[in-house]
């Protein structure tokens, strides 16, 4: 794996440390990613950035985004989203809540039940810097709904588009800020 220019990589590190993206960057990422996540039939989508041995929730398209962004962290060693980061490949779990590696932290905070998770690596300047994820959720009292994502090839294509677009937006911001 190649490494980006240290000045450019520091942009993401500074964003994680500051716990924020500039408002304009957040808007551009949200405008691009929200329709991608909708096409994937997700209830909400997220952009996660690596910080040491964790992924930090940097952007969320859900109704409670401001409660979660920059406050939720998941270990790189656990869960579907982290697996996408570690393996640098698309990961999908259609029974996520019951999976042995599922991290229940976000569900517990929001009182929800994650039925399905799909995630893809986020590669910026040839380095995997985090992951994108989309979830289908409900309430714990609801029976498990098995909303299966359509065609695997279509999901892979959507992830390719979402990842490339998010990476391009972040790369432009890095170049602009350096």
Q: What is the pTM of this model?
A: 0.82
The residue among 70, 39, 41, 43 whose CA lies nearest residue 54 is 70
More confident residue, 131 or 106: 131
From CA 75, how far away is CA 77, in angstroms rounded?
Answer: 5
What is the per-residue DSSP string for 69-86? TTT-EEETTSHHHHHHHH
Domains of the chain: 42-177 (3.30.450.40)
Q: Residue 47 in 3-state DSSP?
A: strand
Q: How far is CA 158 from CA 65, 129, 133, 149, in A?
A: 22, 19, 12, 12
Query: What is the DSSP code (8-state) at residue 59?
Result: E
Closest C-alpha to 135, from 99, 166, 87? 99
- Backbone angles phi and psi of 55, in degrees to 5: -110, 135
Q: How many beta carbons lie within 10 A of that of residue 8, not counting itself?
A: 18
Query: Smallest Cα–Cα separation from 95: which of 144, 140, 131, 132?
Result: 144
Q: Roughly how many angstroms between the first and final C-alpha of the chain, as a whole number?
A: 23
Percent of the chain with pLDDT over 70: 84
Query: Which pLDDT score, from 0 to 100, does residue 75 have?
Result: 92
Could you report the per-residue pLDDT of 26-45, keeping only the tens digit for each? 888 888 888 888 877 788 88
Q: Which range has highest mean pLDDT (5-19, 60-74, 114-128)?
A: 114-128
Q: Which of 7-11, 18-22, 53-57 is predicted least confidently? A: 7-11
Largest CA distance in the chain: 50
Beta-bridged to residue 93, according to DSSP, are 117
Q: Tell me, what's the pLDDT at 152? A: 64
* Residues 8-36, mean pLDDT to the nearest whole number: 78
């Amino acid at each position: 794996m190649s490494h980006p220019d240290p000045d450019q990589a520091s942009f993401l590190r500074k964003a994680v440390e500051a716990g924020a993206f500039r408002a304009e960057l957040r808007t551009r990422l949200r405008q691009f990613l929200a329709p991608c996540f909708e096409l994937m039939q997700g209830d909400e989508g997220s952009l996660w950035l690596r910080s040491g041995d964790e992924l930090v929730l940097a952007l969320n398209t859900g109704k409670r985004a401001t409660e979660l962004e920059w406050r939720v962290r998941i270990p790189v060693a656990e869960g579907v989203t982290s697996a996408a980061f570690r393996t640098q490949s698309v990961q999908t779990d259609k029974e996520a809540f019951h999976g042995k590696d599922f991290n229940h932290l976000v569900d517990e905070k929001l009182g929800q039940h994650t039925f399905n998770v799909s995630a893809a690596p986020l590669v910026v300047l040839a380095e995997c810097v985090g992951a994108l994820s989309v979830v289908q959720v409900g309430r714990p009292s609801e029976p498990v709904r098995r909303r299966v994502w359509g065609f695997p090839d279509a999901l892979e294509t959507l992830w390719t588009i979402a990842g490339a677009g998010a990476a391009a937006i972040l790369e432009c911001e890095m170049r602009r800020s350096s």
